[in-house]
C-alpha cells in the first residue's frame, strides 16, 4: 500500500486527475441524494421501467459511439496537426450512427411491448441522449491536452442544472416520463457546453474527410464488435430479468448496479489521466511503458477491491435505511454485483494496452466469449436464483472477459503477467 501512496504523490498527472475526481465527487454526492429520493418516490415498479428501458439505450451506446473514443485520443495525440479533421469526421459518423440507434430502440421496445406504450415513450425519451452524446468525444481533446479541468467544470455545471430539474419534478410529483427525459437533458446541455468550450480554446475547425473516416472505421471496427459484445453481457441481465421475472426485479437489481457504478469515476479518472503518458512511454521504452501500465493496473485493481469490501459489509444497512424496506430484496444482489467492478474496470484499463500494442483484432474474441458466458449463465441462473443469479452471472463473465480470455491466445498471454505483477505490486523496472 505504501508503494501505491508513493506512486500518486508528486505525480504530474495527479492535478489533471484531481479535476475529474473532484467533478465526479460533486456529482456523486448530489446525484446519490437525488437518485435515492427518486427511487423511493418511483417505487420498484417505475424505477424498474426506467432502468429496463435504459438497458436498451445503453446497449446501443457501443453502436452509436462506433468504438471511437480510445482511437480518437490516440490519433489526436500522434497527429496534432489533423485534430480538426479527425474530430470533425468522427462527429459526423457518430451523429449518423446515433440517430439510427435511437430509431432502433423505439422499434424494438414497440415490438416487445406493443400493448404497453409507456415502455416505448420512456425508451425514446432516454434514447435522445445518444444523439447529443456525440459531442462528448470533445472530452478526449481536452484529455489529450491534460486540460480535464475544463470538462470537469462544464459537467459540474450541467449536473447542477439537471439536478435542479429533477428536484422540480420530484417536488411537483411528475410522471415517470419526466424522469426519463432527465437522462437526455444532461446530454443536451453538455453537448453545447463542450462545443463552445472547444471553440473558445481555439480548437481546430471541424472538417469531414472520407479517407480519415475509412481509417477510423478500420481501426475501430474491432472495438465496435467488442463494445457490442460488452453491452450484451452488461445489459443482458436487466433485459432478461424484465422478460423472465418482472420489471420490479429490474428495479431491485438496478440498486446494486447503481451502488457498483457509484465508485467507477475514480478508476475511470485514473485511466483517462494516465493514458496519454502510457501512450507516450510506449514510443520511448518498452520497460517504461510496462512500468506505467502496471502501476495503473495496481491503482485500479486495489481501489476497486477496497470499495467492494465496503459495500459488501454495509449493503444491508445502506439499502434498508436509505431506500426503505421496499428495496430489501436488492441487498444480496448488491453484495454480489459490486465485485464485478474489479474486473470490469480492469477490462477498461486493458484497452490502453490493446491500442498501444495494436491487438485490436483480439477484442471481439474477448468480448464474444464474455457475452456467451453471460447469456448462458443468465439463462441458467435467473430462473433458479432470480436477481442474485443475474448478479452472479455478471461477476463470473466479467472475470472471464477481464482475465481468463487473454490467457487463451499466445499473442496476449503476456498481459496476464502484467496483471499478476500489478496485483502483487511487482512493477517492471524502468
pLDDT, averaged in runs of 10, over the chain (430 residues): 54 56 69 86 92 91 77 69 76 88 94 89 93 79 70 82 90 91 89 83 72 77 73 83 90 89 80 84 84 89 92 92 90 92 88 86 82 91 93 91 89 89 78
Helix axes of 12-59 and 149-171: crossing angle, nearest 10 degrees: 40
Between vectors from CA 153 to CA 147 and to CA 157, what angle results, nearest 5°? 155
How far, in Å, CA of 342 to CA of 241, rounded? Answer: 23
How far, in Å, CA of 66 to CA of 101, rounded? Answer: 11
Alpha helices by DSSP H, 245-328: 247-261, 265-282, 286-318
How far, in Å, CA of 144 to CA of 76, rounded? Answer: 7
C-alpha cell at 75: 490519433
Q: How far apart are the first and last CA of the chain?
A: 20
pLDDT score at 6: 57
Helix axes of 387-399 and 210-244: crossing angle, nearest 10 degrees: 150
How far, in Å, CA of 386 to CA of 252, rounded? Answer: 11
**194 Cβ neighbours under 8 A, 6+ residues apart:** 135, 136, 138, 139, 151, 154
How far, in Å, CA of 343 to CA of 233, rounded? Answer: 13
Neighbours of 166 (CB within 10 A): 21
Q: Domain extents for the chain?
A: 2-423
How far, in Å, CA of 4 to CA of 244, rounded? Answer: 44
How far, in Å, CA of 284 to CA of 420, rounded? Answer: 24
C-alpha cell at 239: 433485459
Residues 377, 392: contact at Cβ < 8 Å? yes
Amino acid at each position: 500500500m505504501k508503494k501505491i501512496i508513493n506512486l500518486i504523490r508528486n505525480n504530474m498527472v495527479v492535478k489533471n486527475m484531481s479535476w475529474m475526481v473532484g467533478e465526479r465527487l460533486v456529482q456523486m454526492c448530489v446525484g446519490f441524494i437525488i437518485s435515492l429520493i427518486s427511487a423511493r418516490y418511483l417505487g420498484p415498479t417505475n424505477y424498474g421501467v426506467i432502468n429496463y428501458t435504459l438497458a436498451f439505450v445503453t446497449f446501443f451506446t457501443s453502436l452509436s459511439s462506433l468504438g471511437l473514443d480510445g482511437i480518437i485520443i490516440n490519433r489526436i495525440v500522434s497527429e496534432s496537426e489533423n485534430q480538426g479533421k479527425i474530430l470533425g469526421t468522427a462527429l459526423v459518423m457518430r451523429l449518423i450512427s446515433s440517430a439510427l440507434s435511437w430509431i432502433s430502440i423505439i422499434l424494438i421496445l414497440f415490438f416487445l411491448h406493443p400493448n404497453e406504450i409507456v415502455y416505448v415513450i420512456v425508451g425514446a425519451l432516454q434514447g435522445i441522449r445518444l444523439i447529443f452524446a456525440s459531442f462528448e468525444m470533445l472530452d478526449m481533446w481536452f484529455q489529450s491536452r491534460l486540460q480535464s479541468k475544463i470538462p470537469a467544470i462544464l459537467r459540474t455545471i450541467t449536473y447542477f442544472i439537471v439536478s435542479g430539474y429533477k428536484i422540480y419534478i420530484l417536488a411537483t410529483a411528475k410522471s415517470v416520463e419526466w424522469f426519463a427525459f432527465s437522462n437526455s437533458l444532461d446530454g443536451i446541455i453538455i453537448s453545447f457546453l463542450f462545443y463552445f468550450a472547444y471553440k473558445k480554446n481555439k480548437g481546430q475547425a471541424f472538417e469531414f474527410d472520407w479517407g480519415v473516416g475509412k481509417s477510423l472505421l478500420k481501426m475501430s471496427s474491432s472495438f465496435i464488435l467488442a463494445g457490442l459484445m460488452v453491452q450484451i453481457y452488461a445489459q443482458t441481465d436487466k433485459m432478461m430479468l424484465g422478460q423472465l421475472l418482472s420489471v420490479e426485479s429490474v428495479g431491485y437489481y438496478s440498486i446494486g448496479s447503481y451502488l457498483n457504478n457509484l465508485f467507477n469515476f475514480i478508476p475511470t479518472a485514473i485511466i483517462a489521466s494516465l493514458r496519454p503518458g502510457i501512450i507516450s512511454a510506449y514510443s520511448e521504452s518498452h520497460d517504461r511503458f510496462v512500468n506505467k501500465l502496471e502501476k495503473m493496473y495496481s491503482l485500479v485493481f486495489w481501489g476497486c477491491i477496497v470499495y467492494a469490501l465496503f459495500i459488501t459489509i454495509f449493503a444491508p444497512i445502506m439499502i434498508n435505511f436509505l431506500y426503505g424496506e421496499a428495496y430489501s430484496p436488492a441487498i444480496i444482489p448488491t453484495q454480489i454485483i459490486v465485485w464485478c467492478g474489479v474486473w470490469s474496470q480492469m477490462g477498461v484499463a486493458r484497452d490502453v494496452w490493446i491500442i498501444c500494442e495494436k491487438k485490436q483484432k483480439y477484442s471481439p474474441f474477448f468480448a464474444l466469449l464474455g457475452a456467451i458466458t453471460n447469456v448462458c449463465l443468465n439463462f441458467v441462473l435467473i430462473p433458479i436464483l432470480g436477481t442474485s443469479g443475474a448478479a452472479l452471472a455478471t461477476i463470473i463473465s466479467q472475470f472471464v472477459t477481464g482475465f481468463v480470455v487473454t490467457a487463451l491466445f499466445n499473442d496476449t498471454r503476456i498481459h496476464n503477467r502484467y496483471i499478476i505483477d500489478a496485483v502483487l505490486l511487482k512493477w517492471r523496472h524502468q
